[in-house]
Amino acid sequence: MSNVERLKNRLADFNALTSAVAIMEWDQQTYMPRGGAAARAEHVGILSRMAHEMFTADETQKLLEHAKGETRDGTDEQALIRVTQREMDLRTKIPASLVEEKSKLSALAHEAWMVARANNDFAGFAPYIEKMFDIARREAEYLGYKEDIYDALLDQYEEGATSADVRKMFGDLKGPNIQLIKDIKERGKPVDDSGLYGEWDERKQREFTEKLVKTIGFDFNRGRQDTAPHPFCTGWSVGDIRLTTRFKPYVGSAIFGSLHEAGHGMYEQGSPTEWDLTPLAGGVSLGLHESQSRTWENIVGRSKAFWKRFLPDLQTTFPQLKSYDLNTWYRSINKVEPSFIRVEADEVTYNMHILVRFEIETDLLKEKLKVKNLPEAWNAKYTEYLGVTPKTDSEGCLQDVHWSGGSIGYFPTYSMGNLLSYQIWNALRKDVGDTDALIEKGEFQPILSWLQKKIYSQGRRYTPKDLVMRVTSKPMGAEDYLAGLDAKYKEIYDL
Amino acid sequence: MSNVERLKNRLADFNALTSAVAIMEWDQQTYMPRGGAAARAEHVGILSRMAHEMFTADETQKLLEHAKGETRDGTDEQALIRVTQREMDLRTKIPASLVEEKSKLSALAHEAWMVARANNDFAGFAPYIEKMFDIARREAEYLGYKEDIYDALLDQYEEGATSADVRKMFGDLKGPNIQLIKDIKERGKPVDDSGLYGEWDERKQREFTEKLVKTIGFDFNRGRQDTAPHPFCTGWSVGDIRLTTRFKPYVGSAIFGSLHEAGHGMYEQGSPTEWDLTPLAGGVSLGLHESQSRTWENIVGRSKAFWKRFLPDLQTTFPQLKSYDLNTWYRSINKVEPSFIRVEADEVTYNMHILVRFEIETDLLKEKLKVKNLPEAWNAKYTEYLGVTPKTDSEGCLQDVHWSGGSIGYFPTYSMGNLLSYQIWNALRKDVGDTDALIEKGEFQPILSWLQKKIYSQGRRYTPKDLVMRVTSKPMGAEDYLAGLDAKYKEIYDL
């Protein structure tokens, strides 16, 4: 047996362990009874440790070194080695003692964050932020970076992306985006979406959203949709990808949540069968993944063409929506309204929420901002970028779970996803033609096929930056995104 | 750290792996999309191998040996060592090559069995039976036995039980049981249960059965019920026990299936919290486990008192049953009718199905019966014991999955469960008093508490035979069972 084969066998064992963790976590969010929590935590902890020990064992590292000599340039095996080496670096550069320290702090910080948010008590959470950013600085030093300490952290979530990339992105975005928000607020023709809030039968919502995601191309023979408090997508093989959705008084919550997760899901379902259960399978980065969820949620799912096709079905399902004509419905689901809460933000304001977080976590990391001054800085930026000021820290800087878990450097990938969705869509339209005409007819196959061929079927073969170049012939930029928003929202708001 | 502690840690790792397999298998039967099958088989195979390798590793064996010197008589730790040693023997006495041979043959034999059953083609399955019994003989020699080769196989499923025990059991049962079947057939007042077949709304069946099993004491904070093609009970901690049920044209299918699985489930939920995730947790043997499922399904669930309490609720749920009075309903759900199919058998005929299988697998094992003569022997025994003759092998000797998987020596545990259910119930009544009065009032707590205290909370601390002696003050016998059937069915059939 070659070393490459031996390495593959070992990676298959690793994959079985991480898949066990993934299915346990899925079950925990969907079906697990309350009493199962303690044993679940124990099992997930043990299996995660086993997976980590197996992956980072001397034997695996040796196999990886030996296998390198056996692969030829441009082959899948070489890509496999590259991706495995990256994962090895991420897992071995940080000493086990720091990993453990972070893991323990995360558990405490998560608890403290929930209490602090419930009681609007920033002071109670501040010491944990302090410690978590201290850990992040040490992590970054172990991981290494060329120019900016932030790069080391960001790279964990988006291979090759740098703080400079993010600054460039927001530099291009910031002015026009803030201006658009302002124009809409001051001169836009008002949009009333109050009719979208009410009571909606859960079973009907479930059936309608399942039909929607099936129609756009999510394959229910190789996946399913369940209910969970926070929507997510997971999976453990190209033949078994799971979506979740949730039901709220806002009728769009389930609809756009399902379309969003189906975007993630179709990306995973499009991964090549022959790479299944290996590190080459699945999405290449958080940013690229998010670009696909946002494509199906926003570019397709919030288009007029889409609702020309589906509004009649929705009105049959929920007769209380019968009074909507297409245009009123289209404007309602695209209402722009600056708010304090990121997860409820519309397409236009979303990136400004991210900008606030990026600037703040950069300043905290570099100790340019003291933790005690965080709420003040947060509120000032919300006022400047979004024109609204949170009244409490609970609806301000305590709203997100990320920092309590030490996910520092994660937020920018959301904005990258937004930008990339439009950039990729424009490349798609050059090849596929009149997408509105296809969507109106409910013909999603040409769109999905293009994305499958260009992106989904590439798995993790290329780096994210390489893939963006290959697909769109240019590096990630803000121009397509800004042009897209402008065209769409100036029409909606009659600007 | 003591060797006992080290052993416990290792057993916790083992438990995490077997729990991962268990949740993957549960998911496969309940929610997994079709496309997930191949990866699931791969993952379950890898995790099962890892669990086996970890359990049987030299390091575990050494820890077990060293730990033995550290435990004192009568302690939980000593029981843990005993149970672990038994598991070690079962896993290490048979060489890996034979385990692999059996595993491969099982996969092929299962496929061949499904095809043979579909086409009524015994000859197509015969070579696999031949090979499987050959493997069983070799397994038995490796496992070892004192008197009878069958003992080695039976002991895998029911610790300490012997062929002599089973022969004694059936020797006592056979005559009176066959006579009762005959009397009912020839002189019993006919029972018509045709009104129990029809179309029953699945959601209502689900809700009704959930209410039933909740009322008898299955804790939904520490468990749940889902739908599966073949009902089963599984779990991975005392706080997370899962039942499944199914919906058929026979309204009793879901009701008695749910009560049966809830009996298994409450046994598991009653295991001591401090033994959770260790080999001491859960049911002590298949026979004892089955005694509890049969208790709640038959002794409680098919009693007149039970339906005095629940028939009005059922009739509210399914108004088409409104015409039933209590007595007619009670007689309908206890209809005795010899059939060819074990899994559909009533309480009175069930053991005769098992007797057929026990006698035949004994004769095949000892090569007193040639495989080619199996169908003939099967049909002759059905005619003699049940008064019916299968018209095809598909509804005869091809009906069960067990032999294709090499589960030889398993069947008698079903009958042991039936006998023990009545024997334990009589012991319970001595302490608890008028159980009918409690059941009528829907007060199941005194019954469940007694079973919890005497059986469920004992986990695997004692051997099955010890436990039966402790609980009922005598070894397993047929007298309580026969007396119970006589009293119940002579009244129902006016004999």
pLDDT in tens, A426-456: 999 999 999 999 999 999 999 999 999 999 9
pLDDT for A409 equals 97
| Interface size between A and B, measured as CB pairs under 8 A | 125
pLDDT for A90 equals 94
Question: Which residues of B fall within a CB distance of 8 Å from A20?
Answer: 17, 20, 23-24, 43, 47
Question: Which residues of A fall within a CB distance of 8 Å from B27?
Answer: 23, 27
Per DSSP, the three-state class of A27 is: helix
pLDDT for B326 equals 98
- How do residues A20-70 score in pLDDT, each as one tens digit? 999 999 999 999 999 999 999 999 999 999 999 999 999 999 999 999 999
Q: Is the Cβ of B239 closer than 8 Å to some Cβ of chain A?
A: yes
Interface contact B33-A224, CB threshold 8 A = yes
For A52-61, which contacts have Cβ atoms below 8 Å and span 24 or more sequence positions?
A52/A91, A54/A10, A54/A13, A54/A14, A54/A17, A55/A14, A55/A87, A55/A88, A55/A91, A56/A88, A56/A91, A56/A92, A59/A10, A60/A7, A60/A10, A60/A88, A61/A88, A61/A92
A139, A159, A261, A361: the catalytic one is: A261
pLDDT for B285 equals 97
Q: Is the Cβ of B296 closer than 8 Å to some Cβ of chain A?
A: no
Structure tokens at B283: 């049911």
Q: Is the Cβ of B25 closer than 8 Å to some Cβ of chain A?
A: no
Q: How high does pLDDT run on average in chain A?
A: 96
Q: Is the Cβ of A222 closer than 8 Å to some Cβ of chain B?
A: yes
Q: Is the Cβ of B207 closer than 8 Å to some Cβ of chain A?
A: no
Query: What is the distance in angstroms between the Cα of B102 and the nearest Cα belonging to chain A?
Result: 23
pLDDT grade, residue A101 (50/70/90)?
Answer: very high
Question: Which residues of A fall within a CB distance of 8 Å from B29?
Answer: none
End-to-end Cα separation, chain B, in angstroms: 67
Mean pLDDT of A71-98: 94
Per DSSP, the three-state class of A183 is: helix
Phi, psi angle pair for B414, to nearest 5°? -60, -45
Q: Look up B202 and say whether it is catalytic.
A: no
pLDDT for A379 equals 98
pLDDT for B211 equals 98
Question: Which residues of A fall within a CB distance of 8 Å from B39?
Answer: 19, 236-240, 276-277
- The predicted complex's ipTM stands at 0.93
Q: Is the Cβ of B202 closer than 8 Å to some Cβ of chain A?
A: no
Interface contact A239-B33, CB threshold 8 A = yes
Query: What is the distance in angstroms between the Cα of B219 and the nearest Cα belonging to chain A?
Result: 9
Q: Of A248, A323, A263, A338, which is closest to residue A299 (Cα–Cα)? A: A263
- How do residues A267-293 score in pLDDT, each as one tens digit? 999 999 999 999 999 999 999 999 999
Residues whose CB falls within 8 Å of the CB of residue B53, separated by 6 or more in sequence, listed in order:
none
Please answer whether residues A258 and A225 qualify as being in contact, where contact means their C-beta atoms are separated by less than 8 angstroms: yes
Mean pLDDT of A336-361: 96
User: What pLDDT tens digit does each residue of chain B (495 aa) get?
Assistant: 899 999 999 999 999 999 999 999 999 999 999 999 999 999 999 999 999 999 999 999 999 999 999 999 999 999 999 999 999 999 999 998 999 899 999 989 999 999 999 999 999 999 999 999 999 999 999 999 999 999 999 999 999 999 999 999 999 999 999 999 999 999 999 999 999 999 999 999 999 999 999 999 999 999 999 999 999 999 999 999 999 999 999 999 999 999 999 999 999 999 999 999 999 999 999 999 999 999 999 999 999 999 999 999 999 999 999 999 999 999 999 999 999 999 989 999 999 999 999 999 999 999 999 999 999 999 999 999 999 999 999 999 999 999 999 999 999 999 999 999 999 999 999 999 999 999 999 999 999 999 999 999 999 999 999 999 999 999 999 999 999 999 999 999 999
pLDDT for A327 equals 98
Mean pLDDT of A71-78: 92
B159, B261, B268, B361: the catalytic one is: B261
pLDDT grade, residue A478 (50/70/90)?
Answer: very high
Q: What is the 3-state secondary structure (H, E, C) of chain B?
A: CCHHHHHHHHHHHHHHHHHHHHHHHHHHHHCCCHHHHHHHHHHHHHHHHHHHHHHHCHHHHHHHHHHHCCCCCCCHHHHHHHHHHHHHHHHHCCCHHHHHHHHHHHHHHHHHHHHHHHHCCHHHHHHHHHHHHHHHHHHHHHHCCCCCHHHHHHHHHCCCCCHHHHHHHHHHHHHHHHHHHHHHHHHCCCCCCHHHECCCCHHHHHHHHHHHHHHHCCCHHHEEEEECCCCCEEEEECCEEEEEECCCCEHHHHHHHHHHHHHHHHHHHCCCHHHCCCCCCCCCCHHHHHHHHHHHHHHHCCCHHHHHHHHHHHHHHCHHHCCCCHHHHHHHHCCCCCCCCHHHCCCCCHHHHHHHHHHHHHHHHCCCCCHHHHHHHHHHHHHHHHCCCCCCCCCCCCCCCHHHHCCCCCCHHHHHHHHHHHHHHHHHHHHHCCHHHHHHCCCCHHHHHHHHHHCHHHCCCCCHHHHHHHHHCCCCCCHHHHHHHHHHHHHHCCC
Question: Which residues of B fall within a CB distance of 8 Å from A47?
Answer: 16-17, 20
Question: Which residues of A fall within a CB distance of 8 Å from B276?
Answer: 39
Out of A13, A46, A236, closest to residue B16 by CB:
A46
Q: Is the Cβ of A41 closer than 8 Å to some Cβ of chain B?
A: no
Question: Which residues of B fall within a CB distance of 8 Å from A239?
Answer: 33, 35-39
pLDDT for B429 equals 98
pLDDT for A3 equals 94
DSSP letters along A199-222, please? ---HHHHHHHHHHHHHHHT--GGG
- Name the one residue in this structure whose structure tokens are 């129609």: A215
* Helices B326-333, B304-317: inter-axial angle, 10-degree rounding: 100
Interface contact B16-A47, CB threshold 8 A = yes
Phi, psi angle pair for B112, to nearest 5°? -65, -40
Interface contact A40-B222, CB threshold 8 A = no
pLDDT for B474 equals 98
Interface contact B33-A237, CB threshold 8 A = no
Out of B35, B223, B240, closest to residue A39 by CB:
B240
Interface contact B35-A277, CB threshold 8 A = no
Query: What is the distance in angstroms between the Cα of A456 and the nearest Cα belonging to chain B?
Result: 18
